[in-house]
Amino acid sequence: MPKEAWRILDLEYPDPYMNLAVEEAIPRKVGEGKVPNTIRFWRNLNAVVIGCFQSAKLEVNFEACRSLGTTISRRFTGGGAVYQDQGNLNYAISIRKGHRLIPEDLLETFKILSSGAVEGLRMLGLNAKFKPLSDIQINGRKISGAAGSIRWGTVFHHGSILINSDLSILSKVLSAPDRGLKDKHVRSVRKTVTTIRDEVGRDISVDEVKEKLRMGIEKAFKIKLVDGTITREEKLLGEELFQSKYSTEIWNLGR
């Protein structure tokens, strides 16, 4: 039997708000049945991305963001704040509801939809393991976090993978859990978080990581990924969401 074909998009914008607007447009169109199940790879230039229930004021150091030119943005899924530069790769999965891969249980869904990234990291020779609720660890250190949602007729999951991000900026732009303990924050980030470059011990290109991730996803989900493009409808919806939601202060800083 031929393998089920999904679309894969390599699609990113310089503007983090546009990246997040398209991140919502795609699962909406997948749910409507207008486009096939889709994987998207993308990166941000220099942004903090907070979860939809987080307080920007409490989680983000506004002053550090201002001086480092870091944009503060909010995604439509829950979970925690992340710092994203070009050394961080995002992958997003949109699957129409009712697909064979999706179990009833939400925790199990996180695990299954993280398995493509786990497989891809293993293909890079890393000892990658899923860590509930939605992380991937290498020897006890976090290398990837994920969030997800079930809405618009779609099961949606996205994760970010640290390839060679500047972890010192991460601890500057995200507020320390215990305020006043900045040094400790830097040290604790270094101890609990790792990157692909540090783990494989050499410089590694984003393209190499994408290729392995693509293979890992195909293997774990038993599908074939076919290079595709964003449709006109998705682009228009993305632009609309950019205007009405993702570029607005009320969405990004209103909580």
Residues 107-146 interacting with another protein (rule: CB under 8 A)? 107, 110, 133
Residues 193-232 interacting with another protein (rule: CB under 8 A)? none
Site for another protein contains 244 (CB under 8 A): no
Tokens in use for 161? 């993978």
Residue for token digits 């695990």?
Answer: 111
Distance CA 112, CA 102 (A): 8
CB 141 within 8 A of CB 175: no
Residues 92-111 interacting with another protein (rule: CB under 8 A)? 106-107, 110
Of 42, 76, 91, 156, the one binding another protein by CB under 8 A: 76
CB nearer to another protein: pick between 57 and 222 = 57
> Contact region for another protein (CB under 8 A) — 11-19, 45-53, 203-211, 229-237?
45-53
Site for another protein contains 18 (CB under 8 A): no
Site for another protein contains 147 (CB under 8 A): yes
In single-letter form, the type of residue at position 254 comes to: G
Asked if residue 106 has a cis previous peptide bond (ω within 30° of 0), the answer is no
Q: What is each CA distance from 159 to 41, 65, 79, 114, in whole angstroms? A: 10, 22, 11, 8
Cα diameter, the chain? 60
To the nearest whole angstrom, how small is the minimum distance from the Cβ of residue 111 to another protein? 12
Number of residues that bind another protein (CB under 8 A): 23
Sign of the alpha-carbon dihedral angle for 33, 213, 100, 137: negative
Site for another protein contains 81 (CB under 8 A): yes
133 backbone dihedrals φ, ψ, rounded to 5°: -75, -40
Interface residues toward another protein, by CB under 8 A? 51-55, 58, 76-81, 106-107, 110, 133, 147-151, 177, 255
